[in-house]
Amino acid sequence: MLIRPDNREANQIRPVSFQPGVAPHAAGSVLAAFGNTRVICAATLEWKVPIWMKQQGVKGGWLTAEYSLLPYSTLDRKPRDIAKGKLDGRTVEIQRLIGRALRAVLDLDKLEGFTLWVDCDVLQADGGTRTASISGAYVAARLAVHTLLQSGKLKASPFTDSIAAVSVGVYQDTPVLDLNYLEDKDASVDANIVMTGNGKFVEIQSSGEEATFSAEQLQEMLALAQTGLKTIFAAQQTTLSSKGIL
């Protein structure tokens, strides 16, 4: 019999919320909360594009993401990457994932000459920081675009769809939705699912932890993810609607 650490059902997502306006100097920001995981996501616009775009003659604009676990976000203090002199592999992987996810729902031609920066800083890590970052980054970026449209800095919204992500896995031999840290640590299979609001997959990251999983388990995990993503998309839209964004 499945007993999850926080007594949730296998198909039950943690409470999800997006609190806007937590970083006043950013064009758009939210505090994304997935249970006890909390991430500040902030978006700002810069009037320049990466050098490689100029060198290769690539038109349009760009979106890039940065991600960090703040030193006090974990049970044991995590040294800042700057103290080590380089980004660790996990940080690089996650910020690339966030950037890919958001660019999947952007028309970069409508960011002509601009780079939209999205910063995701984890205040408290209890599993699912990358999925919370993607889901919160979308809301922060939409809020930023709304601000920039109102100010006239952008002529049209570059967004073509919404984007969100959630974790799933196999815990105690059972596929479960939205793993917290204790579950993630002991899961035999861990997966992160990124999807658009129209139901298209952007990325599926799935691996067994010294274990294998069947096609049936994969399908069950994907179904769980789609259930959880409906809740996340609804929470995103509630926050955006509160700011007059449809």
What would the DSSP string read from start to end of 45-107?
A: EES---HHHHHHT--S-EEEEEEEE-TTSSSSPPPPHHHHTS--HHHHHHHHHHHHHHHTTB-
Map tokens 């060198």 to a residue. 55
For the segment 138-163, the average pLDDT, to the nearest whole number, is 96
pLDDT digits (tens, 9 = 90+) for 2-41: 999 999 999 999 999 999 999 999 999 999 999 999 999 9
Q: In 104-179, which residue ranges form alpha helices assigned H by DSSP?
A: 129-151
Give residue 68's identity as a one-letter amino acid code. Answer: S
pLDDT digits (tens, 9 = 90+) for 214-225: 999 999 999 999
Band of pLDDT at residue 120, cut at 50, 70 and 90: very high
- Checking if the pLDDT of 153 tops 70, the result is yes
Distance CA 82, CA 218 (A): 38
Contacts for 28 with CB less than 8 Å, ≥ 6 apart = 20, 42, 43, 139, 140, 141, 142, 143, 144, 145, 146, 147
The neighbour count for residue 240, using CB atoms within 10 Å, is 20
The neighbour count for residue 90, using CB atoms within 10 Å, is 12
pLDDT at 89: 87
- Checking if the pLDDT of 237 tops 90, the result is yes
Which two structure tokens, joined as six digits, stand for 29? 């920001």
* Side-chain-side CA neighbours of residue 171 (13 Å): 25
Which two structure tokens, joined as six digits, stand for 191? 């997966």
What fold, for 16-242?
A: Ribosomal Protein S5; domain 2 (3.30.230)
Measure Cα distances from 169 to 9, 93, 207 in Å: 13, 19, 9
Selection from 123, 132, 147 nearest residue 43 by Cα: 147
Contacts for 164 with CB less than 8 Å, ≥ 6 apart = 134, 135, 138, 194, 195, 197, 229, 232, 233, 236
Distance CA 199, CA 164 (A): 10
The dihedral built from the CA positions of residue 205, 31, 71 and 100, taken in this order, carries a sign that is: positive
Distance CA 241, CA 246 (A): 6
pLDDT at 83: 67
The neighbour count for residue 206, using CB atoms within 10 Å, is 16
Domain ranges of the chain: 16-242
For the segment 94-106, the average pLDDT, to the nearest whole number, is 97
For the segment 119-144, the average pLDDT, to the nearest whole number, is 98
pLDDT at 10: 97
